[in-house]
Amino acid sequence: MFLSKKILKSTLKLNNFQRNMSLIKNKAYINGKWTSALNNETFNVLNPVDKSIIGSVPDMNCDDVNLAINSATEAFKTFSKTTAKERSDLLRSWYNLMVKNSEELANILTQENGKSLAESRAEIKYGNSFVEWFSEETRRINGEILQEPMRNRKLMILKQPIGPVALITPWNFPHAMITRKVGAAIAAGCTCVIKPSEDTPLTALALAKLAEDAGFPPGVMNFITTNLNNSPQIGKLLCEDKNIRAISFTGSTAVGKILYQQSASTMKRLSLELGGNAPFIVFESANIDLAVGGAMQCKFRNTGQTCVSANRFFVHNSRFDEFLQKFVDKISQDIKMGDGKKNNITHGPLIKQSQIDMIDHLVIDAINKGAKLHCGGKKLSDLGPLFYAPTVLTEVNRDMEIYHREIFGPVAVIHKFNDENDVLNEANSVNVGLAGYFYSEDLSQIFRVANKMEVGMIGANEGLISCAEAAFGGVKESGIGREGSKHGVDDFLDIKYLCIGNIKY
């Protein structure tokens, strides 16, 4: 009966919820209360379209985070004893509120991330689907009864929540990366300390407001905000605090390795979704129109700022000219850059100055060293300070910096190939393996290539592969663990073996 009154209360709130109530919050959320930083410091959140100030949020330090950890630790003592049905109802209430407020969530996301409203709406729907999924998956976290090796014994496997967990999320999908992690953690019975990116904290705080309205008990979800300067020490604290039993992080491989090292002292469970350098292969038998459509989806979504973006294009020599021409034409026809709030805009700016400077440097370096430019290749300063034109380069070689980098921007580098084994060797030559894509109408080749490609996720004749039902994650230095799917709760559960002996029948 722990949550019965809270669930009834949340249902009443849901029925009476005022949709004109703003979800933009200027405080963090700890132990069920909206709070400033202890030192009252704040930092501004900027709109990447024009770098205008949207609002400000608390710039918290380790003292604030310790309060959040203590809150999650205390709440876990009770929340870990809730039934699967109670947790399912809470997640469902949260999901229903997110659906009701999808348009406002999309507007907040567009303001602080810069992606178009169409893309923001798609992310909100995608992110909501994880909460819906885990509200159902909660009731399917089952143990096992084992066959005993001798009489008078019963052997069981129990699955129990691991404890309070820390969730560190990036700016490129500020809604979906939170819901994918939180949904799984809550389903397992864990309490959470959630640290969103300093670039996109407002979406996270809007989710906190809806979680509060959904009736989550104090301390179950704690949202902390901090600027970039405090992030390293806060990450270290979350890794080394003995009360935090698991870390789930999405971000760069370099930062993931640091968190991995820092978590060693407490033998913490880690779920790391790290960098990618996705190959996109177009074989001789491919449907070129289908391949071009897929390339548009997985290269330019969020202006190329996704970890599963196609980064290295390989097109069979016999189809190269056809693919290149159709791809460049499609870019010209379909992409319209600008302020994401405006009608008919498909793509927005890059997230910050360091991002556009890095992209511009890579392209200039490649062109200066002999790469051929087919479109783009420049900043679009008339649109705003962080816009970069969709760019296609060919004749790129190993002497160019862009050959070796995950680009994370609207730049496609296209190479020719002739032999299947050669292109697979090149596709697998990097130290990461998150996603990979290939196009072929040869069924045997589809199974052969899928078996040999060294990535955690593959799109065969498909450019958009992620969904709540599928396991998201990589191999090699692209991370540890899986998010989404029935496997998404695994990193938040301890397995306990129970042997009951000397049973008299």
Task: State pLDDT tens for residues 55-96.
Answer: 999 999 999 999 999 999 999 999 999 999 999 999 999 999
Region 10-14: mean pLDDT is 42
Q: What is the mean pLDDT of the chain?
A: 95
Confidence of residue 272 (pLDDT cuts 50, 70, 90): very high
The Cα 400–Cα 222 span in angstroms is: 45
- pLDDT (tens digit, 9 = 90+) per residue, 19-61? 434 899 999 999 999 999 999 999 999 999 999 999 999 999 9
Contact between residue 82 and residue 52 where contact means Cβ atoms under 8 Å apart: no
The Cα 380–Cα 390 span in angstroms is: 10
Confidence of residue 505 (pLDDT cuts 50, 70, 90): confident
- Amino acid letter for position 465: I
| Exposure b/e, 409-428, CB count within 10 A at least 16 = b | bbbbbbbbbeebeebbeebe
- Predicted local distance difference test score (pLDDT) of residue 301: 95
- pLDDT (tens digit, 9 = 90+) per residue, 383-393? 999 999 999 99
Q: How many CB atoms lie within 10 A of CB 503?
A: 10
Residue in 413, 407, 391 with CA at minimum distance from that of residue 347? 391
The Cα 158–Cα 104 span in angstroms is: 41
- pLDDT (tens digit, 9 = 90+) per residue, 336-346? 999 999 999 99
Is the sign of the CA dihedral 370, 373, 378, 382 positive or negative?
positive
- Amino acid letter for position 249: F
Contact between residue 430 and residue 398 where contact means Cβ atoms under 8 Å apart: no
The Cα 282–Cα 288 span in angstroms is: 8
Would you call 179 helix, strand, or coil by DSSP? helix
119 is catalytic: no
Q: Enter the pTM of the model.
A: 0.94
**What is the Cα gyration radius of the chain?**
24
Considering the candidates 86, 112, 198, 273, report the single residue annotated as catalytic. 273
CA–CA distances in Å: residue 496 to residues 89, 138, 160, 499: 26, 18, 7, 10
- Predicted local distance difference test score (pLDDT) of residue 488: 97
- Which residues of 97-254 form beta strands (DSSP E)? 144-146, 154-161, 165-168, 192-195, 221-223, 246-250
**Torsion angles phi and psi, residue 71, rounded to 5:** -65, -45
User: Quick one: DSSP state of residue 337?
Assistant: B
CATH topology for 4-10+28-274+479-497 is Aldehyde Dehydrogenase; Chain A, domain 1 (3.40.605)
Element (H, E) at 458: strand 457-460
Contact between residue 305 and residue 350 where contact means Cβ atoms under 8 Å apart: yes
The Cα 329–Cα 332 span in angstroms is: 5
Q: What tokens does 285 get?
A: 């038998």
Query: Which residues lie across from 391 on neighbouring strands?
Result: 411
- Predicted local distance difference test score (pLDDT) of residue 12: 43
CATH number, span 278-469? 3.40.309.10
Residue in 86, 62, 99, 394 with CA at minimum distance from that of residue 241? 62
Q: What tokens does 143 get?
A: 């143990």
Confidence of residue 16 (pLDDT cuts 50, 70, 90): very low
Region 288-299: mean pLDDT is 97
**Torsion angles phi and psi, residue 276, rounded to 5:** -130, 165
Q: Is the pLDDT confidence value at 254 over 50?
A: yes
Q: Is the pLDDT confidence value at 7 over 60?
A: no
The Cα 84–Cα 159 span in angstroms is: 12
Domain ranges (residues) in the chain: 4-10+28-274+479-497, 278-469
